[in-house]
Amino acid sequence: MWWGVAAALLANTLYSLGFVLEKRALTSLPEVTIRQPARLLRLVLGSPLWIGGSLALAAGFAAQLVVYRTLPIAAAQGIFVSGLVLLVLLSARLLGEETSGRERYALGAILLALLMVVLSLREGADTVSQDAPYQLILLVCVPSLAAGLWLYGSAERRARNRHRRPTTGVEYGVAVGLLYGVSSLAIKGVSSHLTTSGIGAALLDLLSSPYPYLLLFTGVFGLVMSQAALQRCRASLIVPVCTTVTSLFTAVLGTLSFGEALPGDPLRLALRVAGTALAVAVLLTMPKHDSAPQPPAPAKELASP
């Protein structure tokens, strides 16, 4: 269990560092858009700072595989979202981003919600499931992917309206969070196929499951969508929203899909349900328009490629 906790804390650090490095790299690049994915990839792959951030995220992914083999889904999400505090601190230090008083209260409420979820856990009382019916996983993931893509496209259309106030990126964060929620379930599924014996059979079994294909889809679309969103919005707001949605999605639907039972004790059950409800309520009441100072806008290209 303690290996899982250490891996989760390491993943937190790597993810926070990775997002901040990518955001810093994006501020010095020309404006990117999901309508030109090839150009977006060409620009970011030409930035050493962005590559460093992406390597940190990849290392965080590897640590997450260890987490899901040793901790229940709900416990893992509680630790993952606690990394929001580190993300906000790094954003203030390295990006010069400022959060409003309302946003700081919202982050505090999210941490309180996650504390309630963590307090609902008890060592030895929570099971760590290793697999789920493929039909159930697809039933959960396919509509979620469609909803995330639709919401992101809707946010993009509104953002192109020049007369609208600057957006905080909440809609972008929710959309990308849904994709990363599906990715998190896929990572959980992949981790269940990891073994040190019978590697060939395990690989064939993995390739016959939906998990690697869900990871490929969310990896490609998540990369393009998250980079465009990060460039437009503050990392100190969009990443917490994305992380909250991902964690709630994974904790609730992942727990149900993989058959990890909810607490039988009434107090522990109340803490888990109330913590989840509080996090959702905070997300719904976060400001939709940006009033905080923004870092310098990305440079414009002098000529089209």
DSSP annotation of 296 reads P
- Asked whether residue 104 carries a pLDDT value surpassing 90, the answer given is no
pTM of the model: 0.77
Find the helix or strand (DSSP H, E) in which 144 lies. helix 134-159
Q: Are 215 and 182 in contact (CB under 8 A)?
A: no
Question: Residues, the chain, total?
Answer: 305
- Asked whether residue 155 carries a pLDDT value surpassing 60, the answer given is yes
Higher pLDDT, 279 or 300: 279
- Asked whether residue 143 carries a pLDDT value surpassing 80, the answer given is yes
DSSP annotation of 285 reads H
CA atoms within 13 A on the CB side of 227: 31
Taking alpha carbons only, the member of 295, 292, 294 closest to residue 99 is 292
How far, in Å, CA of 155 to CA of 150, rounded? Answer: 9
Helix, strand, coil shares of the chain as percentages rounded to 5?
70, 0, 25
Q: How far is CA 171 from the centre of its chain?
A: 14
- Asked whether residue 165 carries a pLDDT value surpassing 50, the answer given is yes
What pLDDT is attached to residue 294?
47
CA distances from 300 to 28, 186, 240, 274, 303 (A): 10, 37, 28, 46, 9
